[in-house]
Homo-oligomer: A and B are copies of this chain.
Amino acid sequence: MNQRQPGTRVAIVGLGLIGGSLGLALRKAGYHLTGFARRPAVRRQALALDAVDVAASDLRETAAAEIIVLAVPVLSTPAVFRQLAPQLSPGTIVTDVASTKARVLNWAAELLPAGVHFVGGHPMAGRETAGVEHAEATLFRGRTWCIVAPEAAPPAAVEAVTTLATATGALPLALDAATHDAAVASTSHVPFLAAKALAEAAFLQPDWPRLQPLASTGLRDTTRLASGNALMHRDICVSNRAAILQQLDHFRERLAALATLIRQGDDEELLAYFERLKTERDRFVTYLDQRRNA
């Protein structure tokens, strides 16, 4: 496995917030980084920020890397696979950072040549500010990095991707694609859809100009994810449709039950319920902080 340790040649396709942050983190860990971005301004910025050693203007320049990381919107994945496929040598490892995994694994099986090893990845980190200019070397520190390998993936390829994730300060977690996609539908996708529905219910109301002075930090925080990358979120909805629709139904049932509780007027039960939720949510924040600061 020595050739997968620091010094390994890694290429990142797509230098946005995640691709740029990954470049910063991996260069610190001693990897040699080639970054591809279509737009010259993004390449210049990535070089200026030291997020990459080499900024490639041609996707083919990434094919010589030992590990290629796709950091593009998930629906752009098959197009990148198709363009890369003829360039790849056997033994090359390909991974990604997309938020949904079942579709990506299917595309990899279908479009990448035999002998090229795909191992899916998904770092649980993000911010509503997109673009390489917001990249941070510490973005992944203490965050889970899901490793979703096809059954046929060689253990050495899985280990190389796991080592790469660990090098960013993330905590790798191996799981299968279906489990991953159902879990993130509930922990990540429904929350951003709830934020969007709250944003619509407020900002797109005809009388919003009159209501706006009555809104404050509560609405600001609950709608934060509505300021997230629209393309990324759209791609997630398209590529994880079934799991998302199921978890959205579940969330709407929770809201209906809450409305019933409020309508029934059992004040003590409502208080006990809110207190229990507070306890559990406080516990989750402690969990996140402890992992981040460990």
Q: Which residues of A contact B (CB under 8 A)?
A: 75, 124-127, 143-144, 146, 171, 173, 180, 183-184, 186-188, 190-205, 210-228, 230-231, 233-234, 237-238, 241, 244-245, 247-252, 254-256, 258-259, 262-263, 265, 267, 270-271, 274-278, 280-285, 287-288
Contact A251 B262 (CB under 8 A): no
Q: If A212-B284, A230-B274, A274-B233 touch, does A218 touch B238 (CB 8 Å cutoff)?
A: no
How near does chain B come to A262, taking the closest CB pair, in angstroms?
A: 5
How far is it, in angstroms, between the C-alpha of A80 and the C-alpha of B210 when the chains are bound?
33
Chain B, Cβ-Cβ closest to A250: B201
Known: A191-B222, A255-B193. A124 touches B271 (CB 8 A): no
Q: Which residues of the other chain, B, contact A210 by a CB distance below 8 angstroms?
A: 183
Q: Does the CB pair A237–B270 fall under 8 Å?
A: yes
User: Closest approach, in angstroms, between the C-beta of A122 and any C-beta of chain B?
Assistant: 9
Q: How far, in angstroms, from A163 to B195 measured CA to CA in the complex?
A: 36
Contacts of A224 in B (CB 8 A): 221-222
CB-based contact A278/B211 at 8 Å: no
- In whole angstroms, how far apart are the Cα atoms of A222 and B244 in the complex? 17
Chain B nearest CB: distance from A79 CB in Å? Answer: 15
Q: Which residue of the partner chain, among B205, B220, B244, B271, contacts A234 with CB atoms under 8 Å?
A: B271
Q: How far is the CA of A222 from the CA of B198 in the complex (A)?
A: 11
**What 7 A-B pairs come out closest when comparing CB atoms?**
A203-B280, A230-B274, A187-B215, A124-B216, A197-B254, A191-B222, A234-B271
Q: For residue A195, which residue of chain B has the nearest CB?
A: B222
